[in-house]
Amino acid sequence: MFRWLSLILLVIVIGMGLVVGIRYWQKTPQLMSPVVDKILEKPLDKYTIENLGKRAYQSRIFLDEAVATTSAYTAYIFHFDSDGKKVTGLAHLPTTCDKCPVIAQFRGYVDLEIYAPGVGTQRSARVFAGNGFISLAPDGLGYGGSDMPSADVFEERFQSYTAALNLLAAIETWSKFNGHLFVWGHSNGGQVAISVLEISQKSYPTALWAPVSKPFPYSILYYTDEADDKGKALRKKLARFEQDYDVDLYSLPNYLNRITAPLQIHQGTADEAVPQKWSDELVKLLSTMNHELITNYYVYPGADHNMTGAWNTVINRDIQFYNNNLKSVVK
């Protein structure tokens, strides 16, 4: 009798243990999965300034059809590859040289509905080409004949950096390149240019026209009043982004000390898109880190975001700036 009672008790104990074990096993994945997911799924980590600086970039430039010819230059549609995506753009090649210095031009924001290759860069590109500089102005992913960018609004932004870096790498191995590489950026293209200088830490002499230089994400939130929903959707996405990522790791003012390139900066006092205060603060920050970086900072009374009223002066100063740096060596 005692033996049977012991056996029954043993069965009961084992059964209770199995029930507790099963319940724990069922609950454990529910408790652990959010933690595991957060550790494993951070695809945008690779786009921090420091992480982008650790990877390699490469591509090749292909000239497609000629779209305009003058005595001073021939303009071509060109394309290159950026991490498996095709990026098109507009190239202006001088007729005065076979191998020439190259200026990579990064434009500001343009509404897709009114965009055409060369918008934001074509006028200056013609002047640069007339003075012996090749201009390569990429359309950007989603524009012109380029492939579409990521559906993620923040990855799309970061892909503008990788596209620019792949273009610069392609230029350095291009048969038309004579060894002198320069950068030009306007507005949001100025933000791309600054970010590229921080990531690469290369000394490409760079001219900036009213660059967007405020911290991320304020640099994009500032313009959300122009959206139909006044930025409501973007703010929701940003809130989710900040749950998993440290925005400071993507913010250009935190990495200005990585810049090694000589800079020339232009700013109009009547600019309604980029307040003069932004450029004043940028120059001040750069000057406290390395006063030799700022070759020139010009402020134009009454000039707007596109340098209307001072455009000829600005472009001529850029040509002089690039000519003065023709003997510089990119490290």
Q: Higher pLDDT residue, 78 or 7?
A: 78
Look at residue 314 and tell me whether its pLDDT is greater than 60: yes
Residues 6 or more apart whose Cβ sits within 8 Å of residue 49: 195, 198, 199, 249, 250, 252, 254, 255, 258
pLDDT of residue 174 exceeding 90: yes
Residues 6+ apart with CB under 8 A from 269: 276, 299, 300, 301, 302, 303
Burial of 23: CB neighbours in 10 Å, binned 0-12, 13-18, 19+: exposed
Reading phi first (left if > 0) and then psi (alpha if -120 to 50, else beta), residue 191 is in alpha
**pLDDT tens-digit series, residues 228-273:** 777 788 888 888 888 999 999 999 999 999 999 999 999 999 999 9
Q: Strand pairing of 134-138 and 206-209?
A: unpaired
Please state the domain extents for the chain: 46-324
Residue 23 pLDDT: 53
What pLDDT, on the 0 to 100 scale, is given for residue 10? 47
Would the pLDDT of 172 be above 70?
Answer: yes
Report which of residues 293 and 125 the model is more confident about: 125
pLDDT average, residue stretch 301-326: 97
Containing 153, the helix (H) or strand (E) segment is: helix 153-171
Top-confidence residue, 169 or 42: 169
Query: Tens of pLDDT along 6-47?
Result: 545 444 545 554 444 445 444 444 444 454 444 556 999 999
Beta strands in the chain, from DSSP E residues, in sequence order: 62-69, 73-82, 85-94, 100-106, 134-138, 177-186, 206-209, 263-268, 294-300
User: pLDDT at residue 91 above 50?
Assistant: yes
Of 125 and 1, more confident: 125
Mean per-residue pLDDT, 127-141: 98
Q: What's residue 142's pLDDT?
A: 98
Q: What is the mean pLDDT of residues 135-140?
A: 98
- Weakest-pLDDT range from 10-24, 71-85, 196-210, 304-318: 10-24
- Asked if the model's pLDDT at residue 296 lies above 70, the reply is yes
The pTM of the full predicted model, rounded to 2 decimals, is: 0.86
- Residue 146 contacts by C-beta under 8 Å, 6 or more apart in sequence? 79, 85, 86, 87, 88, 138, 139, 140
User: According to the model, what pLDDT value does residue 290 have?
Assistant: 67
CATH fold, domain 46-324, is: Rossmann fold (3.40.50)
Q: What is the mean pLDDT of residues 144-166?
A: 97
Query: What percent of the chain stands above pLDDT 90?
Result: 74
* Encoded tokens for 27: 């609950």
